[in-house]
Amino acid sequence: MTTVVCRCEDLTEEDIVEAIEEGYDELETLKRHLRLGMGPCQGKACLLLARRILRRETGKDVEEMKEPTARPPSRPVPFSLLASPDEGGEDDD
Amino acid sequence: MTEKYEAVIIGGGVNGLGTAYHLGKKGFTDVLVLDKSYLGYGASGRNGGGIRQQWTSEDNIKLARESRKMFERLDDELEEDLEFYQGGYLVLSFHEEEAAEFKENVKLQNKLGVDSKFLSPEEAKEIVPELDISDVVAATFNQSDGTIYPFKVIHGYADRVREIGIDIKEHTEVTDIVTQGDEIKKVKTSEGNIKTDTVINAAGGWSSKVAEMAGAEIPNVPVRHEIMVTEPYKRFLDPMVISFEHGIYFSQSEHGNIVGGIGNPDEEPGLNQKGSLWFLKNFSDTLLDFIPRFSGVHMIRQWAGFYDTTPDAQPILGSVPEIERFYQVNGFSGHGFMVSPMVDKVTAELILGEQPSMDIERLRVERFEDMDLEEEGGVVG
């Protein structure tokens, strides 16, 4: 059975275990190697799951694992909302 | 416990790992690469992945040209798909005066073997149909420029370097470089001391701090630059689009995300890596001026990194006058990734006392003392 861990980047549990075995054994490098948590949800679901897999595979203490920095904006925002009202052209709706 | 290596490289970014790779290829493998965090924590993992040969100084054009050729072969060498996409760089000008300079730049680039072209606004629009060209005066374009995925390069180098037998230690911070007279004796780290007589300073934004530890002086100053990424889309943008006047650059990665940044001319130097509202607003404003159709595109993440800047925006390479065997690979001022293959090859040659493949005399730190500086005018972001 295949377990999808990261829906944005289409990563399975198997992909993550494989990457850990290749030496990407911390969340920061796992993220950058697989683009885990770099999709539209920004890791809200997958990073917690990946942390559990990492603990299971490496025996590392979860408390010691550094979380990747949460980056703004916390959810996807269209450029039209960020730009000045008088800037930019048509809306895409 | 005191360990011993023939050379210690400080900084696990693209230039530290690349230098290790070139040393290793020549059979010099008693080398340790140190990083205070994870590999690519600094600018190598925070940049836009641009590979550009359209520069204004002869040295940068040559370094970038040779590096582009090496990037074209790097997939095979590292046995990794590095997502190098040669969709070109489209450089836009909004003023006649700058457009005149563009003509001169293209002449110099062509003379040095870079196939850039001077374009009308309409020709620019043919390359990027969504572009609003109402204020564009002219453009230049070079097809063999492009973008790469920085993490793949970092991880590809790291894998090869380890295979060759070179050691890499992450989460190991250098705290001091002990010298006696003009010789290096050891490197002190958070994890113990390392005996060596050769140190390579590839510490990016932290380079001037590292130089200070050894008692050497380099003029580098770290300056924050912010960047963002959107949701991935099917490819619709081929080249990297940049403007020096607006300080903006943006491209679409092989994965489909739009990646781009804009420089803040009022940014104070310092080791600040936080994101700002100034960036979100100004990047969005300028981007929509360039391509109004981006209004509905979603930004998903912003972050920041450093340009390790020098007074002439050119890198510092080679040894320093104060200390023997203390090599600099820093001061890239925002374009360290794209020139790294050639820089790292030459650095390895210098360390091994070989004839360098390219003359880098004008890029030594001594230039700030006794030479007229040729400032690189092509910095963006």
**ipTM of the assembly?**
0.88
Q: Report CB contact under 8 Å: A73, B280.
A: yes
* Span A4-78 CATH architecture: Orthogonal Bundle (1.10)
B127-170 residue pLDDT tens = 999 999 999 999 999 999 999 999 999 999 999 999 999 999 99
Question: Does residue B4 sit at the A interface (CB-CB below 8 Å)?
Answer: no
Across the strands, what pairs with A6? A11
Give me the count of residues in chain B: 381
Give the domains, in start order, of chain B with CATH numbers: 3-46+151-220+312-370 (3.50.50.60), 85-146+221-309 (3.30.9.10)
Give me the pLDDT at residue B1, please.
57
Calpha distance B15→B224 (Å, rounded): 19
Question: Does residue B368 sit at the A interface (CB-CB below 8 Å)?
Answer: no
Chain A positions touching B232 (Cβ under 8 A) are 39
pLDDT above 70: percentage of residues in chain B: 99
Question: Encoding tokens for residue B257?
Answer: 């995300």
Question: Encoding tokens for residue A86?
Answer: 């008088």
Q: Report CB contact under 8 Å: B303, A69.
A: yes
- Give the chain B residue nearest A87 (alpha carbons): B285
Question: Does residue A10 sit at the B interface (CB-CB below 8 Å)?
Answer: no
Nearest CB to A71 within list B275, B292, B294: B275
Question: Encoding tokens for residue B251?
Answer: 């491209």
- Give the chain B residue nearest A85 (alpha carbons): B285
Q: Report CB contact under 8 Å: B38, A90.
A: no
Give me the pLDDT at residue A70, please.
87
* pLDDT, mean over chain B: 96
* Host H or E run for residue B124: helix B121-127
Give me the pLDDT at residue B61, please.
97
B293-339 residue pLDDT tens = 999 999 999 999 999 999 999 999 999 999 999 999 999 999 999 99
Question: Does residue B276 sit at the A interface (CB-CB below 8 Å)?
Answer: no
Across the strands, what pairs with B189? B174, B192
Q: Where do the domains of chain A lie?
A: 4-78
